[in-house]
Amino acid sequence: MTSSNILRPDWSLPNNIEAAVTLRDFGNLATHVGDDPALVILRRRHLARALKLATVPLYLNQQHTNRVSIWPNREHTSDALIADKPAVAVVLTADCLPLLLCSKDGQHIAAVHAGWRGLAADILGQTLRTLKVDARQLKLWIGPAICQRCYQVGNEVRQAFSNCFDGRSVEQAFSSDGDRWRVDLPLLAERQARDYGLTEITQSNLCTACSADRFYSYRENKDRGRFASIIWRKS
């Protein structure tokens, strides 16, 4: 479901869990990209009102790490936030993967920011280990991110994934493009999640670069803005 500036994922959730993604028209929600901080704060407040959030969202200082924050505490830098009580978890992206997780009983939520560096550094695995929930009891939504057709990388990226993924996953996620490669990050995230035992995985199949009129995309438009992927537990 989509409003004029907020997308609701097509994702089956427990009754006490909700999720949303802001669209480009909502405006930039990151404070570190040169935007007027006062305007960013106003947008964040507007988002909380629009979604009727009862708990204040906790925004992370993301730096492509594999560090995880546990709500309500925020590490100096981290790229995932988990909670086992009513809370709002948010990650900001503009081509990287936003990964949203919840347990089937509605008790646990997590939001993960995963660019290629974070995914190769096992941010997803670190999040799952910190959650301490049987992977078979988790649901994962892989949000809007750059698709394989739009994402050209160098050999160092392929080598990084060769060091942490099995050969079959790497071969299927990378296609040759001269002396460069096209990489399918959403597929790699799904493969990694399945290797950890998750079975309920939903792909948004939305590309930020193909749909740069709807999402911020650094690769397509050199956008400095970021959109938000949010999951929250209401009770």
pLDDT at 168 (0 to 100): 77
The structure tokens listed for 182 are: 């096209």
What are the residue ranges in the chain where pLDDT is below 70? 1-3
- According to the model, what pLDDT value does residue 4 have? 84
What is the pLDDT, as a whole number, of residue 3? 66
- Helix and strand numbers (H, E) in the chain are 7, 13
Torsion angle of C-alpha atoms 18, 75, 189, 100, degrees rounded to 10: 0
Measured at the alpha carbon of residue 152, what is the angle toward residues 125 and 194, in degrees to the nearest 5? 25
pLDDT given at position 170: 86
pLDDT for position 207: 98
Q: Which CATH class is domain 6-146+203-233?
A: alpha beta
Dihedral of alpha carbons 76, 82, 87, 90, sign: positive
| Residue 151 pLDDT | 97
**Res 2: pLDDT:** 55
Give the Å distances, CA to CA, from 199 to 53, 135, 176, 195. 29, 8, 29, 9
CA distance 203 to 99: 10
3-state secondary structure of 180: strand
Note the helical H segments in the chain.
37-50, 116-120, 123-131, 155-162, 167-173, 185-195, 218-221
